[in-house]
Structure 1
Amino acid sequence: PSGRRMDGWQDLAEQVIDRVNLSGFAERDGRTLSGGQQRRATLAIGLAMRPRVLLLDEPTSSLDVASREGVTAMLSDLSDAISCAVVATHDMHLVADWANRVIVLEHGRIAADVEPRDLFAQPELMARVRLVPPQVAQLGLALGLRRPPLNVVELLDCLQIREKVPC
């Protein structure tokens, strides 16, 4: 789109701003936004380009819990708008909530290419690459579950029907 006149750019801007839940902030100076709002505004700028692939570097770093959860929820909501997202992160809560595939790098080489649950089931690898699995996954493993839960609902489901369904 750069170098070309974009017809309908105002409509597109409104759609993207709505999509990232910043409608009430469109006229504000970006420097007055919170960290989470700034991340969402930056994402809105990227989405306005209508990318097929979205690249994000540590989208939840330095955010408080509420802002981190907001960014995670927004990424989930946006999954239909993009074909592929590549996210570099150390935030294993984001990985548990949002990723369907994880590539772990160790000294510049691929150490694992797995689903999040399968990564969390490898505590030795996680420790070696200095990643900390979500507490719910750690608890699941400590309770003897073969496949760690990704969230509290999964943990409760496993504990309630553990005799019938192997977790």
Structure 2
Amino acid sequence: MPAFQPLRKPVPRTWLMTDPRLGSRLLAAIQKLPAGSGVIFRHYELEERQRRQLFAAVRRICARRGHMLILAGEARDAAQWHADGFHRRNSRHRAIWHSAPVHNLNEIREALRNGAGILFLSPLRQTRSHPGQPALGPSRFGQLARLCQPAKVIALGGMNRAQAAKWPQTMVHGWAAIDAFTK
């Protein structure tokens, strides 16, 4: 059962996963997201000071646009950095949003056991960010998405608005991408 999730913002249906490949286009991509979208801030490769500076710039845009901003990493860091939540499978925190990446049944169970209320299920289709990783495909993705309940499922992996529209909102709450927002 998902832990308490604050009601400050509704769970967005459209998400951007930050990635170093976006480079200088990152802030513009976040600015172009529909109002009330979500951003998962990753950028693990940066040293902490640089990561915090970039996070602060992203946070300013997210605040102006009404976006939910989730920090990939520890819950305590997300709380200290004033993120709306954290993105990690094996942690728990009851005062902020908790999302988690999941790819199989064991990871889904772990994330739900730890109270995640938003599950990023991937990869639905082949993706440039994980070359060579086999895609779940529609059938397996659908099976796993049903097992994510009661958490909100966000489809990830080769996604765009048209692909997301093919899934019933009762099964898939929303979608996330990197490349779809850079075109």
- TM normalised by structure 2 equals 0.32
Q: Which structure's residues are more often strand, by fraction?
A: 2
Q: Which structure's residues are more often helix, by fraction?
A: 1
- TM normalised by structure 1 equals 0.35
- Which structure has more RCO (C-alpha within 8 Å, separation ≥ 6)? 2
